[in-house]
Structure 1
């Protein structure tokens, strides 16, 4: 497994992580035993960065990871998040909330510390300095090792970093979600912050595995997203066909090409899956090398504005 340093060189992690959200909700029925087997396989293959959050499944996801890591804690870098309320309702950044959230997460995970703790979404009613100050206290208390942000603006990142070193910024980034290239990526690169890309497969669409809207279960969250609906779905399917063509030339799968693209852009991807077969396919992206000419060709074939429909 290839590795890289997180943030300012303090922590070594696998060059690709595993997102766990879909193991609890949003993408069809959960299967805890299958999910635990997938986590164990990830550890066997050298994937150390495991990404969860307290709001995923309203605590279920952290509990699941805690069960999977019994006797294996030393093999994993646990990344979790706080700040989004149950059922994804409300955003909370008050210092007292931070202190309660970490204790609840530690209890669910069954561990004494979280390696990388993200502020999941920014509460506009609380100055970022106050929230990061509370997170800094968690580091001093030994409950958290490193601090991260998720979906934060450039100004917020700079203000937070001035209070306590930010090791990672997590934001959606893929061939279809490139908004961060204008301002966010230059900021984190300047400050030495690792950029962690969630949904590098645009919620599975770029893998080529989705052929029609009806493939999604009635409870699948993707039915609600503009990119997966109506005419947008058909237009975006045509873009996936272009990804497939280039992937064939590179002797890899569309998913591997899409993930390799994020790594070529300097990101640390955390594709999510609950299946071992997809996990192994995703890890294969580490063997895909994209040249500057490949990246130029991809930009020509699929410019940043080519996707139809908004993220949410």
Structure 2
């Protein structure tokens, strides 16, 4: 049976499975602190595995580009960002994720300037619907068709491209039927300005409604070892409809790297974990959740890896259509992240992680409540869109 993505479920899983299976960990050396540091030989472009988001082929690991424009630190200098992005491609990554909102367009500009010379060799995803308001009036959630169609031109200009590979709705708009959103993107696909449609922080009911109008290639929701919101309904509906799943914050806003302890001093001016008062990054929550780092350290020792690499390898082992997009501004962290594709966790490793999380839980909301409430019904832990039409109104 063929899916709206143009492939059967069997073909979807065959394509999605062209990934990390069977590749052994390589060339890591121990470091202080009880776990290892990635010093692997860089994975070349021809060697990096691929995965499929619907019919869209991407590297098994992408690069999240939000932090380039300043999220935890000041924005990178333009030339530094360009170099990092080009180094990322040289190391085999072909999938780059940005948004109109990131740095109020700065992230898109960085991506555009860096990747313009190699545009045909990369996949660029960006997002609409939660972005700077026209005229500099702050941030708006607006997915009205006319705004989608005007904002795509703004993104194309910043990206220095005449097309966008993957165009996500950044957050569902409670005032606009999702069918109107999907229809507007469908028009842009017909015009050649967009190639694939995606949703972010959407629940199953919204995904189904959108997919019925225009094929959804990917859904991007927050997901990691300590954030399990999509497991109840979002990942299952992606599997059913042959839609790729792209976890944002796959390293738990940095926590799963093991770098942040209860005594860590965060940048109070730039770091969103402080400025937005992330509940999981209080000293008390960091202490309560530290067992997760100790768990990852134990598993990392078996593979001569780092906790962060194990956290990324966990994603790759969950489903063959999952493509994590860790962000970084540092080349050594980038190389470490890419090294995760060489690690194949065992069934007992995966079970050990599941058991620990089930027994101990996680202290603190994943993001501040006022931000969380912009997510769809069914995209938030403890909510379900079953029997509802999701957060967006029905089309009249």
CA distance in 2, matches of 1:72, 1:167: 23
Within the alignment, does 1:57 sit opposite 2:107 as a pair? Answer: no
Deviates more, 1:105-114 or 1:247-256: 247-256
Residue 349 of structure 2, aligned match among 286, 294, 297:
294
Name which of 68, 82, 98 aligns with 1:36: 82
Q: Decide which moves more: 58-67 or 296-305.
A: 296-305
Spell out, residue by residue over 1:212-265, the C-alpha distance to the aligned partner (whole angstroms, 9 max, x if none): 454321120011211001311211223212211221123211010000101111
Structure 1 residue 282 corresponds to structure 2 residue 333:
no
- Are 1:83 and 2:129 matched, yes or no? yes
TM-score by length of 2: 0.76
2:299 to 241, 246, 249: 246
CA drift of 1:304 comes to: 8.3
| Aligned residues between the structures | 310
Matches within 5 A, 1:151-166: 151-166=201-216
CA distance in 2, matches of 1:305, 1:149: 31
In 2, the alpha carbon distance for the partners of 1:246 and 1:127 equals: 45
Q: Distance in 2 between matches of 1:202 and 1:89?
A: 25
Structure 2: runs of 5+ lacking an equivalent: 1-47, 368-396
Conserved? CA contact 1:213–1:233, under 8 Å: no
Answering whether residue 361 of structure 2 is matched by residue 306 of structure 1, we say yes
TM-score, normalising length: structure 1: 0.96
Check 1:48–1:134 CA distance in 2 against 1; reply closer, same or farther (3 A cut). Answer: same
Residue number in structure 2 paired with 1:261: 314
Ranges in structure 1 where 5+ consecutive residues have no aligned partner: none
Which structure has more relative contact order (CA 8 Å, sep 6+)? It is 2
Residue in 2 aligned with 1:27?
72
> Which stretch of structure 1 is more off in the superposition, 214-223 or 97-106?
214-223
Q: Report the secondary structure of 2:289's partner residue.
A: helix
Could you give the per-residue CA deviations for residues 174-195 of structure 1, whole angstroms, max 9, x where no partner exists? 0011111111111010000000
- Conserved in 1, the CA contact under 8 Å of 2:72 and 2:272? yes
SS in 1 for 2:195: strand
- DSSP 3-state at the match of 1:197: coil
Instruction: Rate the CA distance shift 1:185–1:304 in 2: closer, same or farther, 3 A.
Output: farther
Q: CA RMSD in A?
A: 1.5
The structure with the larger Rg is 2
Tell me, in whole angstroms, the C-alpha distance in 2 between the residues paired with 1:155 and 1:84. Answer: 20
In the TM superposition, 1:1-312 aligns within 5 A as 1-7=48-54, 10-32=55-77, 33-86=79-132, 89-212=139-262, 214-218=264-268, 219-223=270-274, 224-266=277-319, 267-303=322-358, 306-312=361-367
2:295·2:353 contact (CA, 8 Å) conserved in 1?
A: no
- Does structure 2 conserve the Cα–Cα contact (< 8 Å) formed by 1:213 and 1:228? no
